[in-house]
Amino acid sequence: MNCKNIQELILTGYSDGEITPELAKQIDEHLKICPGCRKFKEAVEETALSPFRNAQRFAPPDALWEKVREAVVYEKNRDTDGIFLRLRDALRVIFNIRKPVLAFAAAAVVILVTTLFMRTHYYNEEIAGYLEDQVEFIAYLDTDVSSGSTDYMNLDVKIEDILSQRNFYAHLFV
């Protein structure tokens, strides 16, 4: 083993006692002959390990380990399952909406629907008025002028008004 590998093992498993006895023996033999690695080990022990020498070991609850295992398995499967799981995850992120955002969206929808309904109601009244004017105008055209009836003269509708209204309502039927 070279010094770089030894120093990496000192930082990870050797200092914690988490490596195999055979590997620990190889590191100890290397430390006997290499002053640079020996100095590195002493520096690691002094700066990183000495503050924790008297600390108690803490065993995390089994539920935490189970969550860690699930996360590892999930990440492993995620890499192999492909695009469908990534799409599912993206959709979960998109549809994980916070309550204030959902409330704002609901309020916006209510305002939009109300506005559209009121606009439609307004135009329905305008169209009804326009149709009444058309009926009056047709009745005016159907009046017998030769009989001496002057009812058509009492109509409040002028042809210019009807034509201007016709242009106004033309966009509704396009």
Where are the chain's structural domains? 3-52, 62-94, 99-170
* 23: its two tokens: 């590997």
Length of the chain: 174
| Torsion, CA 165, CA 170, CA 171, CA 174, rounded to 10 | 160
Q: Are 88 and 95 in contact (CB under 8 A)?
A: no
Per-residue pLDDT of 33-43, as tens digits, reads 999 999 998 88
Cα-based distances in Å from 70 to 42, 63, 65, 73, 76 = 38, 10, 9, 5, 10
Average pLDDT over residues 74-102: 69
Could you tell me what percent of the chain has a pLDDT over 70?
A: 69
Check whether 156 has a pLDDT greater than 70. no
Average pLDDT over residues 25-52: 87
CA distance 17 to 15: 6
pLDDT (0 to 100) of residue 114: 83
CA 90 distance to own-chain centroid: 8
Up-side HSE of residue 139: CA atoms within 13 Å toward CB?
15
Check whether 152 has a pLDDT greater than 50. no
pLDDT (0 to 100) of residue 32: 92
